[in-house]
Amino acid sequence: MADPIIKLGSTGTAVKKAQKALIHRYYLPPGTDDGIFGPVTRNRVIAYQLNRAAGEFYAFSFPLYVDGIVGPQTWFRLTPETVKKTSQGSGVRLLQEILKSFGYPPYDPGPVDGDFGPLTETAVKALQADYVDFDGNPLVVDGIVGEKTWEALWS
């Protein structure tokens, strides 16, 4: 089931999920995941969206509309699906674009084609070997791009 659209005044687990994703991308301070979509959360969602709006560096081919609402597109960027070898589609394309943006050869996934092949897997493993998660723990080097690797990529 897709995450619900949340906005100013929303409460509950979906709000807490979005807040945690914002915390792990340093848009909210730790401990502010209270499940209440108030003015501070709205302002931080706007800041996140502004950094990924059309024409901005982090927009890639998935720009966000800046409205302070967490709808399908913002959910896609905040909590992308897990991708791994043989995965295909939008999540892989976003992954490849982010890896390309680093401009560092070990992270080069090859062509940005939405297909998670051997070059993308090698790039992901190189990134995982070099990064730590939000809590300072090393990432598991498994070539699978789940929640912690997406956070390291600042999706």
Note down pLDDT in tens along the chain; length 155 residues: 689 999 999 999 999 999 999 999 999 999 999 999 999 999 999 999 999 999 999 999 999 999 999 999 999 999 999 999 999 999 999 999 999 999 999 999 999 999 999 999 999 999 999 999 989 999 999 999 999 999 999 89
Report helix, strand and coil shares of the chain as percent, to nearest 5. 45, 10, 50
| Rounded Cα–Cα distance for residues 4 and 85 (Å) | 29
Say whether domain 90-152 belongs to CATH 1.10.101.
yes
Rounded-to-integer distance, Cα 146 and Cα 140, Å: 10
Q: Would you call 18 helix, strand, or coil by DSSP?
A: helix
**pTM for the whole structure:** 0.93
Q: Where are the domains of the chain?
A: 13-78, 90-152
